A and B are shown apart, each in its own frame.
Chain A
Amino acid sequence: DGGITQSPKYLFRKEGQNVTLSCEQNLNHDAMYWYRQDPGQGLRLIYYSQIVNDFQKGDIAEGYSVSREKKESFPLTVTSAQKNPTAFYLCASSRGKYSNQPQHFGDGTRLSIL
């Protein structure tokens, strides 16, 4: 079945450590997105990518980095510079900016600090 796979489901980070969240899609979508969800805050955009080898910062990119080396994959690294990383991270994909089609989401990764 086509879909978006995020891994791991749960992740713990030690202070000073970088961690990487995986996001893979087999929907042949051009665009991919990373969101952070905090209680009572809704979803906030971290980074997005419309094509391979290109990505842009969203509203809260500080302390995060991404890469888009393959169409199917858009990993997110939470660096030690992100001082408050505890949150639920959601990856999404869509056909792209010209299609006006809805974004579809993965099941998320819950990140906590040890």
Chain B
Amino acid sequence: EDKVVQSPLSLVVHEGDTVTLNCSYEVTNFRSLLWYKQEKKAPTFLFMLTSSGIEKKSGRLSSILDKKELFSILNITATQTGDSAIYLCAMSEGGSQGNLIFGKGTKLSVKP
């Protein structure tokens, strides 16, 4: 059974829309949750979240973690065609030697 579940798996929106991507996880010893953006090649790091309720923000992107309900969301406001990508959520467990467990990703397509 998957430990990290992302939803939706794919999403099509128009430029200017706001989107919310979801990531739920199950873990016995949580360390951190990470978001990456993958266009054609290397996933690029967006955010790392370790504490509940503290929003991390970078331009039009923001993310927050809820450790009680075991989920995180990634928000993108005023979407642009350049936001089209696969967004990956990953979890790190304590004692795992830094290994990440990835969800299947959300494929976002932003239409002009």
Interface size on B, residues (CB 8 A): 25
Would you list the 8 A-B pairs with minimal beta carbon distance, nearest first?
A: A97-B98, A107-B41, A42-B104, A105-B42, A43-B102, A42-B102, A97-B97, A102-B45
* Known interface pairs A42-B102, A42-B104, A42-B105; A100-B43 also in contact (CB < 8 Å): no
* Known interface pairs A43-B88, A100-B50; A108-B41 also in contact (CB < 8 Å): yes
* Cα distance A103–B99 in the bound complex, in angstroms: 9
A residues at B contact (CB < 8 Å): 4, 31, 33, 35, 40-45, 48, 50, 56, 58, 90, 94, 96-97, 99-100, 102-108
* Cα distance A105–B100 in the bound complex, in angstroms: 13
* Known interface pairs A58-B99, A105-B42, A107-B41; A100-B31 also in contact (CB < 8 Å): yes
What does DSSP make chain A's interface, helix, strand, loop or mixed? strand
Residues of chain B lying within 8 A (CB to CB) of residue A33:
99
Residues of chain A lying within 8 A (CB to CB) of residue B90:
43
Tell me, yes or no, whether B80 is within 8 Å of chain A by CB: no
**Whole-angstrom distance from the CB of A87 to the nearest CB of chain B?**
14
> Which chain B residue shows the least CB distance to A102?
B45
Interface hits, B14-55 → A, CB 8 Å: 31-32, 34, 36, 41-45, 48, 50
